[in-house]
């Protein structure tokens, strides 16, 4: 695993430029850009900036997926899709056919299976055993979770499925999430971590402390970049 750590005072600007550069690389090599968005609050200004600088991107050649989703309707304030829609997808006029939304509004198990089936179909079109993202964006929770892979939850131990429904006791809520097999199959992973995140936590994850799910992101044939505000 090749890894780089970028610390920046211009978090949104530099992170958006990084994503745009990755897009141009992928489009140049494969005429497609497979991007998985992360949720929570940190990415919002990055997506807003990306919508502003990415106006000349061929969004019809981009495939937008979501690394995880809350089990709520897409118009719910908690929805990662809603956040992405308001900051990036609508402002950049990303065509609907380029967006693969996790349906948080239906039964979690059904939604996870449906999403995995959709990724498998797209992978098969390219003769791939597992869908390979060009870039997966990830966040870092205060407990070291990433996507919706929370410490001590069942999804962390998944070794076969690519997308699962994961019950999170501390939230008393279901989540939909990529699993480590899917995440670690990506060409490039980028952690977006805001300035307010605990520096000790970041350091321990970067050192590979296994108690934190984020430490288990280790692509077999990919690169990892940390952009820290
Ligand atoms: C989610 C995210 C989650 C997030 C971290 C950090 O659905 O909440 O996917 O993994 O990235 O919890 O969230 P903040 O950016 O809000 O700190």
Substitution candidate for ligand 1 out of 15, 38, 150 with most atoms within 8 A of CB: 38
Are the C-beta atoms of residues 83 and 118 closer than 8 Å to each other? no
Query: Could you tell me which of 139, 38, 136, 134 has the C-alpha nearest to residue 88?
Result: 38
pLDDT band at 1 (very low <50, low <70, confident <90, very high): confident
Encode pLDDT of 70-85 as tens digits. 999 999 999 999 999 9
Q: Which of 141, 155, 166, 212 to mutate to test the pocket of ligand 1 (most atoms within 8 A of CB)?
A: 141
Output the domain CATH number for residue 137. 3.40.50.1360
C-alpha 145 – ligand 1 centre gap (Å): 8
Whether 19 shows a pLDDT value over 80: the answer reads yes
Residue nearest to atom 5 of ligand 1 (CA): 141
How many domains in the chain?
1
CB 63 within 8 A of CB 33: yes
Q: What is the mean pLDDT of residues 1-27?
A: 97
Tell me the pLDDT band of 214, cut-offs 50, 70 and 90: very high
Torsion angle of alpha carbons 22, 202, 173, 147, nearest 10°? 20
Structure-token pair, residue 154: 């069942």
Which residue ranges have their beta carbon within 6 Å of ligand 1? 38-42, 68, 80, 139-141, 145-148
Ligand 1 site-directed mutation target among 12, 15, 36, 40, most atoms within 8 Å of CB:
40
Instruction: Tell me the CA–centroid distance for residue 41 and ligand 1, in Å.
Output: 7
d(CA 17, CA 11): 10
Q: For residue 66, what pLDDT is reported?
A: 99
Which atom of ligand 1 is the closest one to the Cα of 149? 10
At 229 the pLDDT is: 97
Tens digits of per-residue pLDDT, 165-192? 999 999 999 999 999 999 999 999 999 9
Range of the domain at 171: 2-228
Spatial separation of the C-alpha atoms in residues 212 and 97, rounded to whole Å: 35
User: Of 41, 54, 67, nearest to 182 (Cα)?
Assistant: 67
- pTM confidence score: 0.98
Tell me: the pLDDT tens digits for 123-168? 999 999 999 999 999 999 999 999 999 999 999 999 999 999 999 9
Local confidence band at 15 (pLDDT 50, 70, 90 cut-offs): very high
């Amino acid at each position: 695993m090749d890894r780089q750590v970028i610390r920046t005072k211009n978090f949104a600007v530099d992170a958006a430029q990084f994503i745009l550069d990755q897009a141009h690389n992928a489009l140049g090599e494969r005429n497609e850009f497979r991007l998985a968005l992360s949720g929570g609050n940190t990415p919002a200004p990055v997506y807003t900036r990306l919508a502003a600088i990415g106006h000349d991107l061929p969004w019809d050649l981009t495939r937008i997926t979501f690394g995880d989703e809350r089990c709520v309707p897409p118009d719910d304030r908690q929805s990662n899709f809603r956040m992405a829609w308001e900051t990036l997808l609508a402002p950049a006029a990303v065509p609907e056919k380029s967006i693969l939304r996790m349906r948080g509004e239906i039964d979690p198990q059904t939604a996870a299976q449906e999403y995995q089936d959709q990724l498998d179909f797209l992978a098969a079109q390219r003769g791939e055993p597992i869908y390979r993202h060009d870039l997966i964006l990830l966040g870092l929770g205060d407990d070291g979770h990433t996507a919706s892979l929370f410490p001590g939850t069942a999804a962390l131990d998944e070794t076969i499925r690519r997308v699962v429904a994961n019950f999170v006791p501390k939230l008393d809520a279901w989540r939909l999430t990529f699993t480590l097999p899917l995440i670690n199959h990506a060409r490039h992973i980028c952690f977006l971590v805001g300035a307010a995140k605990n520096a000790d936590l970041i350091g321990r994850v970067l050192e590979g402390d296994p108690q934190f799910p984020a430490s288990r992101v280790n692509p077999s044939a990919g690169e990892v970049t940390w952009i820290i505000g």
